[in-house]
A and B are shown apart, each in its own frame.
Chain A
């Protein structure tokens, strides 16, 4: 296709080349930050070796901080190569080779950013180390007393089994209970209206009350009121009941969003095959919804697992209760740090798993276009 464009008066001559610019300021900033990082990590390493408690910590922390110092020194490498590129860029610019000049300048800037980026986490580590060692390493001994941690880890881990038991039981009940609530919230037709109201009220109420209050009320209130059966179930089952009530409300909303997210044409298709409303839900809608909501559901479960530490207020001997006993006997919180570490250990794999599921779903969405 040929388009006739009227000739436009345009000044003859060379197009103005875009300026090459320089990465020098960036590189200088990099140098300053690099020096600061080396200084801070060096100081942290010095503190560790001179101040830290003797024994395991001294060796471990000493080695670790030395590694950090080495890493800090290594940030000089991208800086050096950055300066080389910058020189090359200047030379090329002087020789009139603007394309190469720009290329080298871009590489110099890239190196500068790399150096800056590596300095930040190292500075963070150095700061944290200094914090631990502050006040004659009081922070370290309070939170990370190795000996005391080793002493308490056995009992705390055994008691952590109670947290896991409560979590697993509550999760199993929540899976079913929340689905019941969600289906009640979506109950069809006029006849379903009272059911919808009831379920909505339940969800509103239990999403409003902090779980610690629910645990307290269930754990102490039911025995106090002498409700038959419910008052004799003991703190462990009280905790399971309380967490099921609270998280049932959250997960019901997750299910509901999932069910409502299934396209109505799926309902049409199922109903047109003669399936009743109930069978349509059971065989067609709910299975698809559950698949969709697995990631948010697992997120709520992670929250539930962490809330098992709240049962300490009703006297269940869980990991936190056990750790507090240790800490009040020895005036040291390192046993509680052990609990924190245990929660981290069980939670991180789950969050990674959720990320993976989300990524997979995103890829599916993409591939479907």
Chain B
């Protein structure tokens, strides 16, 4: 049984169906990359896993337990599942250190001193220890995104969701963020990520899933998906990506 399971998940906004029966399994310590055209539902899928959106059909299970639908404890789910957004969403009125320690202190009840020690350790790991007292608007996009990753990691999540975390970055800043993800993957963190960075997906993913109009059209090891895509639409999508020089 996979660690994170989506079974036939359906989601619509008002009358507009966005996810139409997504089935996807993520084993522990695996990296699964979601690829697909803009608007196919990648962000929505990730937000559903984190219970930021309700789903209307199917279920989501974490470690065997159903974590979607009525009556679930969203706050305890979110302690186990971290998410990092495309637009960083740091809290602008807090320093980097306060951003990172907010939820360990307020949600987990970690003593401030311990939370700060852990935060500094994580910041050191991503090379931002000296920015601990800076405010988000004093940082570059890449630095902000690294802080956002650290903020999610500070909760010791069992699964990390990454939603196109490099899409809002200038090209020269992409590598510094992806390097961290690569590190985390190597450490065995379970990661489900939406991305447009195909070469990164090819290198790091255990499984790549091609999403089309709210369904998983095709999934498998990156070598298969990128090397010999079965489905016509996947082929067309990858052809466009190659034409754009991104693979």
Residues of A within 8 A of B (CB): 265-266, 268-276, 279, 283-284, 287-288, 291, 368
Q: Which residues of A contact B52 (CB under 8 A)?
A: 268, 271-272
Chain A proximity mask over B145-162: 1 for CB below 8 Å, otherwise 0: 000000110010000000
Q: Which residues of B contact A368 (CB under 8 A)?
A: 137
B102 within 8 A of A: yes
Chain A proximity mask over B73-95: 1 for CB below 8 Å, otherwise 0: 01110110011010101111100
In contact, B83 and A272 (Cβ under 8 angstroms): yes
Interchain CB contact (< 8 A) of B152 among A266, A268, A273? A273
B7 within 8 A of A: no
In contact, B85 and A269 (Cβ under 8 angstroms): yes
How many contacts A-B (CB < 8 Å)?
56
Q: Which residues of B contact A270 (CB under 8 A)?
A: 91
B103 within 8 A of A: yes
6 more A-B residue pairs beyond the given contacts A272-B52, A273-B107, with a C-beta to C-beta distance below 8 A: A265-B89, A270-B91, A273-B152, A274-B155, A276-B75, A291-B93
B81 to chain A: closest CB distance in Å? 8
Interface size class of B (residues with CB under 8 A): 20 to 34
In contact, B93 and A287 (Cβ under 8 angstroms): yes
In contact, A288 and B87 (Cβ under 8 angstroms): no
Interchain CB contact (< 8 A) of B103 among A266, A273, A287, A291? A273
In contact, A279 and B93 (Cβ under 8 angstroms): no
Q: A266-B91, A288-B92 are contacts. A272–B82 as well, Cβ < 8 Å?
A: yes
Q: Which residues of B contact A268 (CB under 8 A)?
A: 47, 52, 85, 89
Interchain CB contact (< 8 A) of A279 among B79, B90, B106? B106
A275 to chain B: closest CB distance in Å? 6
B50 within 8 A of A: yes
In contact, B103 and A274 (Cβ under 8 angstroms): yes
Within the assembled complex, what's the spacing in Å between the Cα atoms of A291 and B135?
Answer: 15
B84 to chain A: closest CB distance in Å? 9
In contact, B91 and A284 (Cβ under 8 angstroms): yes
Q: A272-B78, A273-B155, A274-B79 are contacts. A279–B107 as well, Cβ < 8 Å?
A: yes
Q: Which residues of A contact B50 (CB under 8 A)?
A: 272
Residue among A268, A273, A287, A291 with the highest chain B CB neighbour number at 10 A: A273
Q: Which residues of B contact A291 (CB under 8 A)?
A: 93
Q: Which residues of B contact A273 (CB under 8 A)?
A: 78, 82, 102-103, 107, 151-152, 155
In contact, A265 and B87 (Cβ under 8 angstroms): yes
B100 to chain A: closest CB distance in Å? 10
Within the assembled complex, what's the spacing in Å between the Cα atoms of A196 and B118?
Answer: 41
In contact, A283 and B102 (Cβ under 8 angstroms): yes
In contact, A274 and B107 (Cβ under 8 angstroms): yes
Within the assembled complex, what's the spacing in Å between the Cα atoms of A273 and B102?
Answer: 9
In contact, B102 and A275 (Cβ under 8 angstroms): yes
Q: Can you list 15 contacts pairing A with B, beta carbon distance less than 8 Å?
A: A265-B89, A268-B85, A269-B91, A272-B50, A272-B52, A272-B83, A273-B78, A273-B152, A274-B75, A274-B76, A274-B78, A274-B79, A275-B75, A276-B75, A279-B106
Interchain CB contact (< 8 A) of A275 among B92, B93, B107? B107
Within the assembled complex, what's the spacing in Å between the Cα atoms of A54 and B91?
Answer: 65
Q: Which residues of A contact B137 (CB under 8 A)?
A: 368
Q: Which residues of A contact B106 (CB under 8 A)?
A: 275, 279, 283
In contact, A269 and B89 (Cβ under 8 angstroms): yes
Question: Restricting to B10-48, which residues have a CB under 8 Å from any CB of A?
Answer: 47
**Which 4 A-B pairs rank lowest in CB-CB distance, beginning with the nearest?**
A269-B89, A273-B103, A274-B78, A274-B107
